[in-house]
C-alpha cells in the first residue's frame, strides 16, 4: 500500500515530497524546534541531506513514511510541521525490516506548540498504522528533558517502556502495542 494522505479535524497530512524541502529548511532553522534534536539550528545543506534520507526512509516499507501537516481549517493552510510513522533506525533499534514495528515522531513549528496538533497528527498516524497497516508495535523516543514530547506520547496512549543514556544524553522510549490500541479504542 503506498503512503496515503490523511486528514484529521484540523490537519491535512500529506506524504513528504521534494516540493516540501523549503518548509523543512525553515522548520529546522528554528533553534527552539531543534533544541532537543541537535541543540542547534541546521544549515540548508544539512536539511537537504536529511530530506533525502527522509524520502528514502519513507520508501522502505509500504504505507509508512513522513507526512507534512497543514492546518486545514485556515484559508491560507499554514505549514505546521512533519510527522513520521516509519521503519525504526539507529544502532539501538531492531532492524527496520522487523515486521509490524514502526517509529512515531513529529517536529512542529513553535507557533503550533501546545495546541494539541502534535497529538492530533500522532493519533491519526497510530490509527493508520494499527487499523490499516496491521502494525503490532509503535515506539517513540525523546530526550528525557523533552517533557512536551513525552506529554504528546502519553496523550495518545503510549506508555514509557525504557530509558537509557545515549550519545546525546538521557533518552526515553514510549510504546503502544496493537493490543493496547484496540483495547483503548474498542471500550
Tell me the pLDDT tens digit for each residue of 98-123. 678 999 999 999 999 999 999 999 99
Tell me the pLDDT tens digit for each residue of 39-48. 899 999 999 9
A 10 A CB-CB count for 183 gives 11
Q: Which own/partner contact pairs does 28-37 have at CB distance under 8 Å and 24+ positions apart?
A: 28/107, 30/109, 30/110, 32/110, 33/81, 33/107, 33/108, 33/109, 33/110, 36/142, 36/143, 36/145, 36/146, 36/149, 37/107
Question: Strand 169-177 to strand 137-143: parallel, antiparallel, or no bridges (unpaired)?
Answer: antiparallel
Report the interhelical angle of 44-58 vs 21-28 (nearest 10°): 120
CATH topology assigned to domain 6-186 = Aminopeptidase (3.40.630)
Q: Residues 25-51: what's their mean pLDDT?
A: 93
Amino acid at each position: 500500500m503506498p503512503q496515503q494522505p490523511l486528514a484529521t479535524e484540523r490537519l491535512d497530512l500529506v506524504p513528504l515530497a521534494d516540493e516540501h524541502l523549503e518548509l523543512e529548511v525553515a522548520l529546522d532553522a528554528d533553534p527552539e524546534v531543534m533544541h532537543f534534536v541537535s541543540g542547534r539550528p541546521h544549515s540548508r545543506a544539512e536539511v537537504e541531506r536529511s530530506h533525502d534520507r527522509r524520502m528514502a526512509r519513507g520508501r522502505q516499507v509500504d504505507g509508512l513514511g513522513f507526512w507534512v501537516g497543514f492546518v486545514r481549517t485556515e484559508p491560507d493552510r499554514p505549514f505546521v510541521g512533519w510527522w513520521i510513522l516509519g521503519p525504526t533506525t539507529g544502532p539501538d533499534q531492531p532492524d527496520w525490516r522487523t515486521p509490524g514495528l514502526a517509529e512515531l515522531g513529529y517536529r512542529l513549528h513553535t507557533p503550533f506548540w501546545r495546541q494539541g496538533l502534535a497529538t492530533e497528527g500522532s493519533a491519526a498516524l497510530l490509527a493508520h498504522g494499527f487499523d490499516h497497516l496491521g502494525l503490532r508495535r509503535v515506539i517513540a523516543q525523546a530526550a528525557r528533558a523533552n517533557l512536551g514530547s513525552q506529554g504528546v506520547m502519553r496523550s495518545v496512549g503510549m506508555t514509557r517502556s525504557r530509558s537509557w543514556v545515549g550519545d546525546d544524553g538521557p533518552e526515553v522510549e514510549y510504546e503502544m502495542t496493537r493490543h493496547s490500541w484496540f483495547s483503548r479504542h474498542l471500550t
